[in-house]
A and B are shown apart, each in its own frame.
Chain A
Amino acid sequence: MRWLRFAVFIVIVTVLQAGMVDILAVTRWDVKPDLLLILLVFFATYCNTSEAIITSFAIGFAADLIGSAMGSQIISFGLFGTALAYLHRVITIRKMPYQALAIFITGLLAGTLAHLLTLLKNQPTPSNIYAVLFGTSLYSSLLGPFLFLPSAWWMRIKTHRFSRS
């Protein structure tokens, strides 16, 4: 893992998520893709387990920086990124539909846990949070697999390392 590239990449993506993803917002709830969630799944599926765990917590911290309350995303992203990394030892998530499914499920689970942890901090959350969560996970899952290739290029990760052919 090239950690300097990773740090620069996360900073750029975090700034994009905070400032520019509004362009892609759809529906009256302003559902936007979660670029950090996509990266979480990307690193969990293309790195070894220890690297995936570190990147999950780092991405969670970045998500907290632009979120409503600190702490909730680092835990939820860290937990589900770790779970996905261990799952990846058993199941190889290589085809785009499977990657999309992984993003969707991880988004729902991590988002729900983050929401519950945010409630612990007495931070207000919108009443339609689960609808937004569903929309964000779906949108991210549709967009995410297409961002895996440029992400792999930037990180110099060989996406066909485990190919059978």
Chain B
Amino acid sequence: MVVAPQEVTNKFQFAFARIFRWPLSIGRNISLSARTRQPLGDVVSRREHGQLQNHLANVTEELVEKHRKVEELSGLRDRLYALEGAKLMLADVITGSIDGDNKLIINRGESDGLAMGQFVLGDNSIIGTISEVSARTAKVKLITDPSSNIAAKIVGLDVETVIQGDGKDSVKVQLLSIKHKVKVGDDVYACKKPGLLDTAIKIGAVAGCKRDDGNPLLWDITVKPACDIKKLSDVAVVIMNPRQ
């Protein structure tokens, strides 16, 4: 099994997740509810607050983008909402990241229109991409995974960069020169990717920014994801060109 290709051995894991979907989901929901403090009646929960904040940030970024487009390409029509034509496929998380491997297994698969590379949203922010897919389940590679590389940009900067997971619960921005002004709290967005994402969507916010020890000409930027990925019980997969 060690030498067998990952896509072959994954079938065992997918089969287990599919067969025991119900007890796994119930167990995960119990775990999440046990770890989540019940909110007071007239107070918005932290999660809902985070969702609204992320939605606001996404809409604001989209607005800025639209303003720029209007200025540059006045007269051309474009969709008001970039994700309007996309389908958001809701999925339950069957198993969360186990042993810190920064992956989720969800209860949607190829038969629901999922394909590798599609972006996955949690609480209105990007949390990862589909890395493996079977007929009825799929594996999500989280942005915190060390092998995850996503094109991203920091708000206010005209330069795109790449973010990579640090294997824990944060993300590192790579190869960004110190000539760019970055400050803690700046929002970080996943860049548009034709066919997969038609608008920039928030990933998180800059949590730390210092000069890179290895290369003082580059920033060492730590980004905190916009939602608590470990507490997600459901996610949404962005399908840009859904089958009719």
Binding site for B on A (CB under 8 A): 11, 14-16, 18-23, 25, 29-30, 64-72, 74-75, 117, 120-121, 123-129, 132
B151 in the interface, Cβ–Cβ < 8 Å?
Answer: no
For residue B26, CB closer than 8 A to chain A, the reply is yes
Closest 8 CB pairs of A and B: A19-B27, A71-B1, A70-B9, A68-B101, A71-B2, A126-B167, A22-B31, A20-B27
Q: Nearest residue in A to B31 (C-beta to C-beta)?
A: A22
Q: Judge whether B35 and A68 touch: CB under 8 Å.
A: no
What number of B residues sit within 8 Å (CB to CB) of A? 37
Are B102 and A126 in touch, CB under 8 angstroms?
Answer: yes
Q: State whether B167 touches A128 (Cβ < 8 A).
A: yes
Contact B230 A30 (CB under 8 A): yes
Q: A19-B28, A20-B31 are in contact. Are A124 and B23 (CB under 8 A)?
A: no
Find the A residue at minimum CB distance from B167: A126
Nearest CB of B to A67, in Å: 6
Instruction: Compute how far the CA of A16 lies from the CA of B98 in the bound complex, rounded to whole angstroms.
Output: 12
Query: What are the interface flags for B8-40 relative to A under an 8 Å C-beta threshold, 1 for contact and 0 otherwise?
Result: 011011001000100111111011101100000
Nearest CB to that of B16 among chain A residues? A65
Rounded to whole angstroms, the CA-CA distance of A66 and B139 in the bound complex is 12
Q: Give Cα distance in the complex from A107 to B54, angstroms.
A: 41
A15 and B20 within 8 A (CB): yes
Give min CB distance, A32 to chain B, whole Å.
9
Q: A14-B16, A18-B95, A127-B168 are in contact. List 8 more A-B contacts (CB 8 A).
A: A19-B24, A19-B28, A30-B230, A70-B13, A72-B2, A121-B2, A121-B6, A132-B99
Which chain B positions have C-beta within 8 A of A20? Answer: 27-28, 30-31
> Is A22's CB under 8 angstroms from B35's CB?
yes
**A residues near B31, Cβ cutoff 8 Å:** 19-23
Cβ contact within 8 Å between B103 and A68: yes
B145 within 8 A of A: yes
- A120 touching B167 by the CB < 8 A rule? no
A66 & B95 in contact (Cβ 8 Å cutoff): yes
Is the pair B28, A74 in contact by a Cβ cutoff of 8 Å? no
For B96, what are the chain A residues with a Cβ–Cβ distance below 8 Å? 22
Closest A residue to B1 by CB, please name it: A71
Residues of chain A with a CB closer than 8 A to B103's CB: 68
Contacts of B20 in A (CB 8 A): 11, 15, 18
Interface centre among B4, B6, B147 (most CB of A within 10 A): B6
* Contact among A14, A19, A64 with B12 in the assembled complex (CB-CB below 8 Å): A64
User: Could you show 10 A-B contacts with beta carbons less than 8 Å apart?
Assistant: A30-B100, A65-B12, A67-B101, A70-B1, A70-B13, A71-B1, A72-B2, A121-B2, A125-B146, A128-B167
Check if B166 is an interface residue, CB within 8 A of chain A. yes
**For the complex, what is the distance from the CA of A21 to the CA of B24, rounded to whole Å?**
11
Choice from B10, B95, B98, B146 contacting A124 with Cβ under 8 Å: B146
> Given A68-B98, A71-B4, does the pair A16, B9 have CB atoms closer than 8 Å?
no
Q: B28 contacts A22, CB within 8 Å?
A: yes
A65 to B14: give the CA distance in the assembly, Å: 8
How far is A98 from B138 in the complex, measured between Cα atoms in Å?
A: 42
Q: Which residues of A contact B35 (CB under 8 A)?
A: 22-23, 25
Nearest CB of chain A from residue B186's CB, rounded to whole Å: 24
Closest to A19 in B: B27
Q: Which residue of B lies closest to A115 (CB)?
A: B99
Measured in the bound complex, the distance between the Cα atoms of B100 and A29 in whole Å is 9
